[in-house]
Structure 1
């Protein structure tokens, strides 16, 4: 007797359901062969003048919650904002100010513990940097899909600007 006998429709339904469920489980169990690559902003890849910490470092030069300043005779100040704890991890930025204008914003700490964090921040951080440079303040829009990072970035940026007297 054949397994898909037309006299037994319930058996056909059960076999089709089991095959569908098995196929879905196998499809969902597939893993990518390589980890996704993270694209970083070229300005974020190179630390600003006088900076000692590289982007993504887990410890900022000012410690947790403090802000550090450095300056030179040319009127350039580099100020590190407070470390802001977000749901997905700490966010901290460093701002370079020349003649009262923001010339650079570098993310020192940001969530990067897993590939999804890296993927989100690879597009969110350059966008946040562009907006901060364009607005010349911490009043920037939140990046869709990176709400917690955006809010932490804004708070750390505001603390750095407050420390710089802007």
Structure 2
């Protein structure tokens, strides 16, 4: 009888532990995203990043993404395309109101830029420890790619 009680208590404790571990949730899109820019039909800043495959003869030029407001400050990027291929991504705004936010952005932005250049899309992995900055970066990059029509 004692073994059954210990087993039951252990099982219940294990289930409670598992239920208390929740996967990381994205911030609510309604509170962190700026509204889609006017004149850009179909652009949604609250959608998940979509992967874009460059096509030959695609768009060329520099396009600025939307400002994405995160819990730690705004993020905005611009992207330069040459025939539909991403050649440069530049962070125009990053969280900078606190020294720690500046430090995180200084570490994360070069890694995010390299990831975007390698992926040739806004479908990039977040930098550990810079989740909000990473999400803002990817969403702003996606809005710039949407404006370019790629």
| TM-score normalised by L of structure 1 | 0.55
CA distance in 2, matches of 1:80, 1:115: 26
Q: Is the radius of gyration larger for structure 1 or structure 2? A: 1
Deviations 1:130-152 (A, max 9, x none): 00000000000000000000000
| TM-score normalised by L of structure 2 | 0.61
Deviation at 1:99, TM superposition (A): 1.1
User: Alignment length, in residue pairs?
Assistant: 98
Unaligned runs of 5+ in 2: 1-34, 39-58
Q: Which residue of 2 aligns with 1:25?
A: none
CA distance in 2, matches of 1:86, 1:147: 10
Unaligned runs of 5+ in 1: 1-63, 68-74
Tell me, what secondary structure is at the counterpart of 1:143?
coil
Q: Which residue of 1 aligns with 2:116?
A: 132
Q: Are residues 1:106 and 2:90 paired?
A: yes
RMSD over aligned Cα atoms: 2.1
Deviations 1:102-122 (A, max 9, x none): 000001011011210111111
Q: Which of structures 1 and 2 has the larger relative contact order (alpha carbons within 8 angstroms, sep 6+)?
A: 2
Q: Which residue of 1 aligns with 2:74?
A: 90
Tell me, what secondary structure is at the counterpart of 1:162?
helix
Q: Which runs of 4+ in 1 moved over 6 A?
A: none
Deviation at 1:76, TM superposition (A): 3.3
